[in-house]
Amino acid sequence: MRYSIMLQVVGSMTLVLVGTGAFFAWLQNRSAPSQTIELQTKENQSRF
C-alpha cells in the first residue's frame, strides 16, 4: 500500500520533471526575431 502510494507520487514527480524539461527547452528555443538580436548586439557594443 505504502509503496504503491509512493509509486504514484514518483510517477507524478516524473511528469512534473519531464514537463519542466520541456518548458526549459521551449524557453531556450523561443525564436527571438533576428533583427531584435542584431539591434541589441549593436546597442551593447556601442555601450562599451
Partner 1 sequence: MRRLLMHSPIAIALFWIGAYLFLTTLPLFILLIYPPPGGRGFWIEFSVALGFIGLAMMVLQFVATARINRIEASYGIDILLQFHRYTSLVAFFMVLLHPVMLFIAQPETLSLLNFFTAPWRARMAVLGTLAFIALVVTTIWRKPLGIPYEPWRTSHTVLSVLAVGLGFGHAIGVGNYLGLFWKAVLWGAIALTALWLIVYVRLVKPWLMMRKPYLVEEVIPERGNVWTLALRPWGHEGFCFQPGQFAWLTLDITPLSMREHPFSMSSSGDHSERIEFGIKALGDFTNTVKDIKPGTKAYLDGPYGVFTVDRYQDAAGFVLIAGGIGITPMMSILLTAAERQDDRPYLLIYASKTWDDITFRENLEELKDKLNLTIVPVLREPPEEWMGEQGYVDKDLLARYIPKHKGSRQYFICAAPKMMDQVERALHDLDVPVTNVHMEHFNLA
How far is Cα 7 from Cα 2, in angstroms, rounded to an integer? 9
What are the grid coordinates assigned to 6, written together? Answer: 509512493
Task: Pick the closer one to partner 1 by CB: 5 or 46.
Answer: 5
Q: Where does residue 36 rank: exposed (0-12), middle (13-18), buried (19+ CB within 10 A)?
A: exposed
Residues in contact with partner 1, total (CB under 8 A)? 24
Residue 1-40 contact track with partner 1, rule CB under 8 A, x = bound: xxx--xx-xx--xx-xxx-xxx-xxxxxxxxx--------
| Interaction site with partner 1 (CB under 8 A) | 1-3, 6-7, 9-10, 13-14, 16-18, 20-22, 24-32
